[in-house]
Amino acid sequence: MVVYLDYQSTTPCDKRVLEAMLPYFSENFGNPHSTHLLGIKANEAVEIARQQIASLIKAEDPREIIFTSGATESNNLAIKGVAHYYGSKKKKIITSVIEHKCVLEACRSLSAEGYEIVFAPVLSNGIVDLDFLKNTIDDNTLLVSIMMVNNEIGTIQPVAEISELCRNHHAFFHCDASQAVGKIPVDVKYFDLMSMSGHKIYGPKGIGALYIRMNPRIRLTPLFMGGGQERGVRSGTLAVPLCVGIGKACEIAAQEMNSEYTRLLELKNYFIDRIFSNLTKVYLNGDREKRIPGCLNFSFEGVEGEGMMLGMPEICVSSGSACTSASLEPSYVLKAISIREDLAHCSLRIGLGRYTSKEEVTYATDKIISVVNRLRSMSPLW
């Protein structure tokens, strides 16, 4: 039995999504920018998808949604696009130390161009330090980029409060909501720009979206030049099947989010209960309450995360974050919440999602418990 518990890294494409996409690879192959019959058909499908996304995130106008290749591109476009368009007036950008690498690196590249980048710390519960934000944001702040849900520890950031701070100082608020959309209610009324990704919500890989507020209108300098598609912000022929896929994924998420949230909450509690009642010296990283149910991050004292993974190859989890686990450096997110260095190496991220069953949780927790006990019994330090 293979148990997939890595839903923060990616999700399988829902069969209903795949079904919706298939005709747009072959029969309905038209270029949505062409004005003939097949072009119009493709364009209609794209516009339905745009509407499905807009409706899930409560955007007033579907034209506020533009398609990208994924959240990495959306984040780069939002941050660099705003910086380059407005940067002659204001130079300060605030982000947080636990953002996804693509946000951190986009900001770093701007600091080389003369922008002032401030990396806001987080408290030990994984929530951004609001007092720091209050003291740092000023009228020279162009942009604040803070995620809604963290991809390693699952904590939910106080976006309403951050939004109010930004509005008080006329700073734009960009939010990477890749791990929030489709899982918890997301409302773009708080944001000026918001990124999301198809493959985190049971849609296809290689597509994402960026919400760009139209009222008042936010302008962006594009990342690359071309035919001027997507309101001139993102040139290139749209990947129609992928657009249809992310749209369908949003439609399904809107219908199933509430019941799925309740189901995952029960599974999460079952998971935690089994771990805590069978093992000592286990720590749940990140706030106990302000988190999504589908993302758990544990530190098992005395047992390296990578070692655990080798001991249970059929359980697909992640030690630290997927992007950093190849380097065996302790995760920068766990460092940022100042857990002990040894505990950062002893962490596993467990993602529960749409296809996770109770049987799988029973099986996986049994495995984890026996691997931890075995590794601890072999460890001279334990």
Binding residues for ligand PLP (CB under 6 A): 70-72, 100, 102, 147, 151, 176, 178-179, 197, 200, 208
Q: Tokens 């990208």 identify what position?
A: 68
Closest CA to 331 of 95, 11, 98, 5: 98
Closest approach, Cβ 9 to ligand PLP, in A, equals 7
Query: Judged by CB, which is closer to ligand PLP: 163, or 178?
Result: 178
Q: Give the C-alpha separation, 332 to 344, whole Å.
A: 9
Q: Tokens 């509690």 identify what position?
A: 269
Query: Judged by CB, which is closer to ligand PLP: 212, or 282?
Result: 212
Query: Judged by CB, which is closer to ligand PLP: 71, or 107?
Result: 71
Query: Judged by CB, which is closer to ligand PLP: 50, or 200?
Result: 200
Query: Judged by CB, which is closer to ligand PLP: 102, or 371?
Result: 102
User: For residue 364, what are its two tokens?
Assistant: 């996986």
Query: Judged by CB, which is closer to ligand PLP: 90, or 99?
Result: 99
Q: Give the C-alpha separation, 41 to 152, whole Å.
A: 40
Closest approach, Cβ 323 to ligand PLP, in A, equals 9
Closest CA to 349 of 298, 293, 287, 283: 298
Query: Judged by CB, which is closer to ligand PLP: 181, or 343?
Result: 181
Closest approach, Cβ 174 to ligand PLP, in A, equals 12
Closest approach, Cβ 355 to ligand PLP, in A, equals 18
User: For residue 33, what are its two tokens?
Assistant: 């920018």
Q: Tokens 């963290």 identify what position?
A: 150
106, 71 Cβ separation under 8 angstroms: no
Spell out the residues 6+ positions from residue 9 whose beta carbon is closer than 8 angstroms to its own. 318, 322, 351
How large is the greatest C-alpha to C-alpha distance in the chain, in angstroms?
A: 73
User: For residue 355, what are its two tokens?
Assistant: 């296809």
Closest approach, Cβ 79 to ligand PLP, in A, equals 12
Closest approach, Cβ 148 to ligand PLP, in A, equals 8
- Own/partner long-range contacts of 362-365 (Cβ < 8 Å, ≥24 apart): 362/274, 363/1, 363/3, 364/3, 364/5, 364/315, 365/271, 365/274, 365/275, 365/278
In order, the DSSP letters of 36-88 are SHHHHHHHHHHHHHHHHHHHHHT-S-GGGEEEESSHHHHHHHHHHHHHHHHTT
Q: Give the C-alpha separation, 60 to 188, whole Å.
A: 9
Catalytic choice (250, 295, 323, 346): 323
In order, the DSSP letters of 242-293 are HHHHHHHHHHHHHHHHHHHHHHHHHHHHHHHHHHHHH-SSEEE-S-SSSB-T
Closest approach, Cβ 178 to ligand PLP, in A, equals 4
> Which position's Cβ is nearest ligand PLP?
70
Phi-psi region of 230 (alpha: psi -120 to 50; beta: other; left: phi over 0): left
Task: Tell me, yes or no, if 323 is annotated catalytic.
Answer: yes
- Please give the positions annotated as active site: 323
